[in-house]
Amino acid sequence: MARVAVMGAGSWGTAFASVVSRGGHDTRLWARRAELAEAISKTHENLDYLPGVKLPVSLRATSDPREALVGAEVVALALPSHALREGLVLFRPFMPAGAPLVSLTKGIEGETLMRMSEVIRDVTGAPAEQVAVLSGPNLAGDIARRLPSATVVATPDPLVAIRLQKCFQVPYFQVYMSPDVVGTELGGATKNYLAIAVGMAEGVGLGDNAKALLVTLGLSEMTRLGMRLGANPLTFSGLAGIGDLLATCMSRQSRNRHVGEQLGRGRRLDEIFAEMRMVAEGVKLPRAVVALARRERVEMPIAENVGKVLYEGMSPKDMLLSLLSRQTEAGMAAIRPARRRNGIQVRQAAGYACT
């Protein structure tokens, strides 16, 4: 049995904490608001974010970061991407030395263009081997209700990966290991704005073929950026890539898909947000992704066009019809088998080579 701190009591943090607690580990869930922590501990339910789902009686909640972190052997960070850096500064004095720090957060920091694992290392000073990311088709409602699910834990240290797999895995939640931190993390981040695009297509009424086209283009888009940043292109064919992309684009539970669908039906962003209790990470993401793509000289047309709707007031229908009428070899190219060029083995995906 390990002592695990889960920092963040939104829907995903709560669902993940319930998994770890049901696995027999001493699990403490940190909530920003004292009243929420007290309610979870007393009622064994998170009425704000997972109403109707009973949590393990063994799960303890607190609003005191010291209480949550003291003696922890694993720390899981489940804050929204825009709040992660501030949260880490708050937690830093109580962080247990040497404990693996696991990012459950999917996003890219707008100001620095850092991935979440990079933010964790920047604030805490932890070495790369101490930081892991967990990502996959992980809709919180399904996991909280103990429906079959799976995820990927990525870290450069195989011993840490094995340790985390044993800690997080239960019969209904399977954990796969990967050394590809960059690919696992980028798949989890970029699928959020892609889900907004698919939601727009649903709201406008463009049909299933258009949604399938967007998913295919989106997979190619995230793979291009990932390869340029050093990711293994095959990561995007697995749970952390296409698996997460499909779940987020197609599920009614997806907040990002919901935002896109409502925009497609003609509603304003402020109206949609007024009805939502939880953050839709994809709304702020296109601006950061476009900036990162331009820095790396990678074409990201879906990110650019979703941003035009979110920030510039472009009509979702006009944007989608313009985007989907484009024909680009880079956008539709498949990952091709490895081959040799000038004595160097290369893989090619969507027009970009990766040695």
Catalytic site positions: 191
Give bridge partners of residue 61 from the DSSP assignment: 29
Q: Rounded to an integer, what distance in angstroms lies between the CA atom of residue 152 and that of residue 178?
A: 7
H or E segment and range at residue 302: helix 301-312
Place of tokens 């990002």: 256
Structure-token pair, residue 283? 């709304």
AA letter at 126: A
Amino acid identity, residue 301? P
The helix (run of H) or strand (run of E) holding residue 352 is strand 352-354
Distance CA 291, CA 92 (A): 29
**3-state SS, residue 27:** strand
H/E stretch holding 60:
strand 60-62
Burial of 107: CB neighbours in 10 Å, binned 0-12, 13-18, 19+ = buried
| Helix (H) or strand (E) run with residue 84 in it | helix 84-91
Specify burial of residue 45 (Cβ count, 10 A radius: 0-12, 13-18, 19+).
middle
